[in-house]
Structure 1
Amino acid sequence: MTGLMWTACGTGFTFLMTALGAAVVLFMISDDFNDKTRRAFLGFAAGVMIAASVWSLLIPAIEEAEKLGKKGWIPAAGGFACGVIFLMLLDKLLPFFHPEPDRAEGVSRGLRHTAMLVFAITLHNIPEGMAVGLAFAVAANNGDPAMFAAAVALAIGMGIQNFPEGAAISIPLRQHGMGRFKSFLYGMASGVVEPIFGLLTVLVAGTVEAILPWMLAFAAGAMLYVVADELIPEAHLENSRTGTISVMIGFMLMMTLDVAL
């Protein structure tokens, strides 16, 4: 129960931060969202996710595999590849979300692109919730205060990067004509999957300890796929350095959280 309670608190926090980010749309004085600010949001989220994938997911996956007497690189590399392939297959199976280069410019194209971003962020929130759940499950199983601190750091880091993601969903929706409150609900809903999958992961983690390293690496692969395929390209539109600087800031912040806590 301790693992469930901590996971509920951790994923509840990450969901709350998503909701707070989405709520930005409710307080906007103007509906014109500066592209430079949006690139900064996405770049920051990308940097946080890159650092989280390494220090909070891949390194723990290697360490947990070695504790089980196995070679750490096998589940790390294998799980990572599975996470990437999983999202690639989903991308192929959902052609509605594919951008069409030959589609006429305008509102319809903008809405289609925003729908793709909503799907991508919601999809990667699933392994994020799993990652938080797994972190607390491992900490509960080992009874190690240091592992609990690492799990808390992961939840904080996820929550921090969820704030700009919530805004990155709700504000573009408002730009394309959707009502403020409805835009907020869509942005908030993208984070609901985190507590759901986090709690489900804890419930089964105790009986599948052997695959925990694979699941951690799977989450890392899924997260980095979204970073490489969606967030960084979006953050670097028009060759702006705003996205690059934001990636560095997000990476340093998450790395500091992981190491310090």
Structure 2
Amino acid sequence: MAVIVALGAFLMTLAGGWTALRVTDRRHLVLGLAGGLMLGVVGLDLLPEALDAAGTEVFGVPAALLLFVAGFLMAHLVERLLAVRQAAHGAEEHDGRAPEVGLTAASAMVGHSAMDGVAIGAAFQVGGGMGAAVALAVVAHDFADGFNTYTITSLYGNARRRALAMLFADAVAPVVGAASTLLFTIPEPLLGAYLGLFGGALLYLAAAEILPEAHHEHSARSTVLCTIAGAAFIWLVVGVAE
């Protein structure tokens, strides 16, 4: 049952990527929406789940929050190191952005989607009601995952075929994740740690890269409204799932 439900996530991910692909003439709106979706996923979905799953504290601070900060700093460090390496080797730049950063970020999205599949499978092991609720949240926000995966990969100057390849990998990932729960389960604290780390990295990309790029050439009110709409959509998805 979990694998069948995960096929819905597969389709929604492809739909999100197709949407990002088709609206290239409104790039600033696409990026504004992507930034809002990413902000909503991190603040309203990933971080609360991470805090619930990784309940331990380190020197009075929840481990999930420490890993959230670590993920943010890690994303910043990776981007800086890649930029320095690119400049040192005289590589061709794509608006000052290293394509490897986009591929790394998209790979993290694929890993997150795989964990979404694992979450579906684990929820169905608890019960049908729990499985349905988790599946609804995953399927709905996988539209945002597909949208963001294609957008992030393309933003950093990667060729269209690479962006499409990462999109397809992101679509397949939840199905693979759900199937894996037939063989083993992931300890809840480890799952919470991963969500915290990934959430920090995703927030960095949204705040330091996606949103500034959205306003670089088109600092319009409509771009801000798209960002707000993206965050509000994730809030709606989380609320319906609850």
Contact 1:46/1:231, CA 8 A, preserved across alignment: yes
Q: Are residues 201 and 44 of structure 1, via their aligned partners in 2, closer, same or farther at CA, if it must alter by over 3 Å?
A: same
Aligned-pair distance for 1:78?
2.2
The letter of the residue matching 1:192 is F
Structure 1: stretches of 5+ with no match in the other structure? 26-32
Tell me which amino acid in the other structure corresponds to 1:86.
M
> In structure 2, which of residues 159, 162, 168 is the aligned counterpart of residue 192 of structure 1?
168
What's the offset of the Cα at 1:219? 2.2
Q: 1:43–1:232: 8 Å Cα contact kept in structure 2?
A: yes
Given that residues 39 and 242 in structure 1 are in contact (C-alpha distance below 8 angstroms), is that contact kept between their aligned partners in structure 2?
Answer: no
Q: Percent identity?
A: 20
Per-residue Cα deviation, 1:227-246 (whole angstroms, up to 9, x for no partner): 11211111111433332111
Aligned to 2:15: 17
**Structural mapping, 1:44-59, within 5 Å:** 44-59=33-48
8 Å contact 1:22–1:170 — kept in the other structure?
no
Q: What amino acid does structure 2 have at the position aligned with 1:64?
A: A
- Which of 207, 225, 230 pairs up with 1:245? 225
Show the counterpart of 1:133.
Answer: 117
Matched pairs, number: 232
Distance 1:81 1:13, change over 3 A: farther
- SS of the aligned residue for 1:94 comes to helix
CA distance in 2, matches of 1:73, 1:40: 37
Contact kept, 8 Å, 2:36 with 2:228, in 1: the verdict is: yes
1:63-212 matches, cutoff 5 A: 63-66=52-55, 70=56, 74-95=62-83, 109-110=93-94, 113=97, 115=99, 118-119=102-103, 122-143=106-127, 145-146=129-130, 148-160=132-144, 162-163=146-147, 166=150, 183=160, 185-195=161-171, 198=174, 203=180, 206-212=185-191
Extract unaligned runs of 5+ from structure 2.
none
Q: What does residue 218 of structure 1 align with?
A: 197
What is the TM-score with the length of structure 1 in the denominator? 0.70
Of 226, 239, 242, the match for 1:259: 239
Inter-partner Cα distance in structure 1 for 2:189 and 2:155 = 42
Partners of 2:132 and 2:101 in 1: CA distance: 32
User: What's the C-alpha RMSD, in Å, of the aligned pairs?
Assistant: 3.7
Query: 2:194 is matched by which residue type in structure 1?
Result: M
Partner Cα separation in structure 2 for residue 80 and residue 254 of structure 1: 19
Instruction: State the distance in 1 between where 2:85 and 2:22 align.
Output: 25
Please give the alpha-carbon distance, in whole angstroms, between the structure 2 residues aligned to 1:158 and 1:171: 19
SS in structure 1 at match of 2:167: coil
Superposed CA offset, 1:53-72 (max 9, x none): 12221112222345xxx459
